Amino acid sequence: MDNLIKYNQIFMDSFSLKEEELEGNPTMEAVELWDSVGHVNLVATVEDTFGIEMTIEEMSDFVSYAKGLDILRGYGIEI
């Protein structure tokens, strides 16, 4: 549960989103601040927070809130 709170906080901080907006599975296409720089900041923050290093494919696949959860679960992180 703590991990989900951390993950949600990263999204809210990175893209100025409210918690309830996360329920709609925000995507790279729909979120204005989620551009190439925003994406890099998101990946770097997620990696630092959860102590992982995404592969190039995972970085490319990380195009939505839900996809990010899947990637973290792939690293054995309970979320």
Identify which range of 2-10, 16-24, 43-51, 68-76 contacts other proteins by CB under 8 A. Answer: 43-51
Q: What is the DSSP string of 5-71?
A: HHHHHHHHHHHT--GGGGGG--BTTT-TT-SHHHHHHHHHHHHHHHT----HHHHHH--BHHHHHHH
Residue of 30, 47, 70, 74 that binds other proteins (CB under 8 A): 47
Neighbours of 46 (CB within 10 A): 21
Q: Does 29 bind other proteins (CB under 8 A)?
A: no
Identify which range of 2-10, 22-30, 54-62, 63-71 contacts other proteins by CB under 8 A. Answer: 54-62
Q: Does 35 bind other proteins (CB under 8 A)?
A: yes
**Interacting residue ranges for other proteins, rule: CB under 8 A:** 33, 35-41, 43-44, 47-48, 56, 59-60
